[in-house]
Amino acid sequence: MKKQKWIALLLVCIMIVLTACSGGTSSKDESKNSSKSSGENPAATRGNELVIRVAGDPQNWDPIDTFLLAWSTVATSVFEGLVSRSLDLEIQPGLAESWEYIDDKTIVFKLRQGVTFHNGEPFNAEAVKFTFDRLLGEEGQQGPQYSNYTSIDNVEVTGDYEVTMHLNAIDPVLLTKLSGYGAVIVPPKYIQEQGAENFDMKPVGTGPFKMTDYQRDKQVVIERYEDYWNKDAIKLDKVTFKVIPETATALAELQTGNIDIMTRLEVSQAATAEGTDFIELKDVSTPTAYSIRFDTAQKPVDDVRVRQAINYAIDKETIVKEILGGYGNLISSFQSNLSFGYNKDLEPYPYDPEKAKKLLAEAKVPEGTTLEFFIPGTDGTFKEIAQAVAFYLQEVGLKVSINSVENTTFQSELIPQGKAGQMYKNGWGGWTLDFDNTAYLMYHEGEFWNPSYKNEKVEQLLAAERATINNEERQKIFKELTEVLYEDAAEVNLYSEVEIYAVNKRIKDFQPPHDGRFRFEGVTVE
């Protein structure tokens, strides 16, 4: 990068930090002026409970109605699936003690006995059948989780504590999907008597904590379930999740001891948080990937040469180093290196503005063409990234109009309806740790979050990948798939996230989750 461009980028980023008064980002000036604590821990008298800051509220706790990480952050402690995933991302028994593949399309699950839902209702094979009948039936088909489980034909009760799952197609990542989100087990009697709308706001599961208070957009309180089947693993009495979208507000709450754990600490806040005597920082790599997605139905990004040019025009390495402070890993496809299917041989697009200009000229894009770039309004860090992107594209002759919108509207309406401009921020949790889920929902024609992208070769490879449970064969298919997507430039792949947690030192044995799904087994407080 030329020296003058380097200086200009730094000036842009500094200006954004100093003027970001409405996006939730604490400025570097504010960080310098924050006073170091006296050493006393103001949270020490809180007792055997935690208070955790979360940035958003999923608005609905029914597992079949959600796709948001904000749901799973809390609900992993309320609900359980047939299988579970440990903090180290290993599949382990959950509500099923064991399982066996009879053939590629038939799985028998032996269920755990002596388990109850939080309302006292017994867990058994009928509850499992009810859950999947509901998920795969008319009610579930109206929600975003249905498409994850269409490989399941039906669940048959073959004993009081045994079910047989019959598949209509091979599903190589089914077990991972059964560990969370739409596949967690729900209480039949409670839902039938109370109704789905009540369940949305007052969920009941079998997990180690029961939800005792929910104030939308304010807080969620979960308390230890005394009849939990593995209750000895849970030491905490209560956990309160406070919804605080603004990171500056969250940091202030952390420093005054009003919260114990701040998720999604911004890089610009790290020094301030770490300078507080009773706070320590923990970082963890995540499967979450971030990109700038193109709506390929809109000109001029309907032309692959323009999409490639934008990829060459953006210095992603500098963005990670300077804006993220190194808390990010460069990616060449829309997945992290934690994901099965990651192509380690594929290098990210290099920074080459001259090549970008040449491709734009070939595509006959007039200089000064404006691109609409939509981002969610609560993400202060990505606002800085968007400004840097606008700077880079200006250098190759493109103008960028940045549109900051409310997050729920952005995710649930604008992106699915193709109303998020030629470019928009795209973040994906990669929760299955397998490229199958990400690739299918992002690139398969007609999916909820894919308003326009179509590629026949991609469709063929997606179908081939789902036709085998042989992981060696699937890895080969994913390698080809990532190369096709790379060449077609469906997006600008930026980075996979390294998340920073600020944690009160009174908390012991807390491990930040790779996947944002909190687990509290063994966690204690002083």
Cβ atoms of residues 375 and 318 within 8 Å? no
Q: Are residues 378 and 510 in the same domain?
A: no
Q: Are residues 388 and 519 in the same domain?
A: no
In this structure, which amino acid lies at residue 228?
Y
Per DSSP, the residues of 427-462 read EE--TTSBHHHHHHHHHSTT-TT-SS---HHHHHHH
310 contacts: CB under 8 Å, gap ≥ 6: 292, 294, 301, 356, 393, 398, 423, 489, 492
Q: Are residues 300 and 190 in the same domain?
A: no
Q: Are residues 493 and 510 in the same domain?
A: no
Containing structural domain, residue 320: 285-498
Residue 275 lies inside a defined structural domain of this protein: no
Q: What is the DSSP letter of 357?
A: H
Q: Give 330's strand partners.
A: 495
467 contacts: CB under 8 Å, gap ≥ 6: 169, 170
Residue 415 lies inside a defined structural domain of this protein: yes
Q: Are residues 307 and 421 in the same domain?
A: yes
Say what the pLDDT of residue 378 is: 76
Residue 253 lies inside a defined structural domain of this protein: no
Spatial distance between the Cα atoms of 67 and 64, rounded to a whole number of angstroms: 8
Number of domains in the chain: 2
**From the CB of residue 4, how many other CB atoms can be counted at a distance below 10 Å?**
8
User: CATH code at 132?
Assistant: 3.40.190.10
Q: Are residues 401 and 465 in the same domain?
A: yes
> CB-side exposure of 407: number of CA atoms within 13 Å?
18
> CB-side exposure of 150: number of CA atoms within 13 Å?
12
Q: Are residues 471 and 489 in the same domain?
A: yes
Three-state DSSP at 503 gives strand
Which pTM was predicted? Answer: 0.77
Q: Are residues 517 and 395 in the same domain?
A: no
Q: Are residues 470 and 521 in the same domain?
A: no
Give the N- to C-terminal CA distance of the chain in Å, as an integer: 50
Q: Are residues 329 and 392 in the same domain?
A: yes
Nearest in space to 287 (alpha carbons), one of 517, 514, 55? 514
Residue 43 lies inside a defined structural domain of this protein: no
Q: Are residues 105 and 206 in the same domain?
A: yes
Say what the pLDDT of residue 469 is: 85
Residue 264 lies inside a defined structural domain of this protein: no
Spatial distance between the Cα atoms of 380 and 512, rounded to a whole number of angstroms: 22
Q: Are residues 477 and 517 in the same domain?
A: no
b/e code 495-507 from CB counts within 10 Å (16+ = b): bbbbbbbbbbebb
Residue 280 lies inside a defined structural domain of this protein: no
Say what the pLDDT of residue 29 is: 39
User: CATH code at 353?
Assistant: 3.10.105.10
Spatial distance between the Cα atoms of 255 and 265, rounded to a whole number of angstroms: 13
Residue 21 lies inside a defined structural domain of this protein: no
Peptide bond into 300 cis (omega under 30): yes
Spatial distance between the Cα atoms of 94 and 228, rounded to a whole number of angstroms: 12
Residue 105 lies inside a defined structural domain of this protein: yes
- pLDDT tens for the chain, 526 residues: list them: 444 444 445 544 444 443 333 333 333 334 333 444 456 899 999 999 999 999 999 999 999 998 788 999 999 999 999 999 998 888 999 999 999 999 999 999 999 999 999 999 999 999 999 999 999 999 999 998 998 899 999 999 999 999 999 999 999 899 999 998 999 999 999 999 999 999 999 999 999 999 999 999 999 999 999 999 999 999 999 999 999 999 999 999 999 999 999 999 988 899 999 999 999 999 999 999 999 999 999 999 999 999 999 999 999 999 999 999 999 999 999 999 999 999 999 999 999 999 999 999 999 999 999 999 999 987 888 999 999 999 999 999 999 999 999 988 998 899 999 999 999 999 998 888 999 989 999 999 999 999 999 999 999 999 999 888 888 999 999 999 999 999 999 999 999 999 999 999 999 999 999 988 999 999 999 9
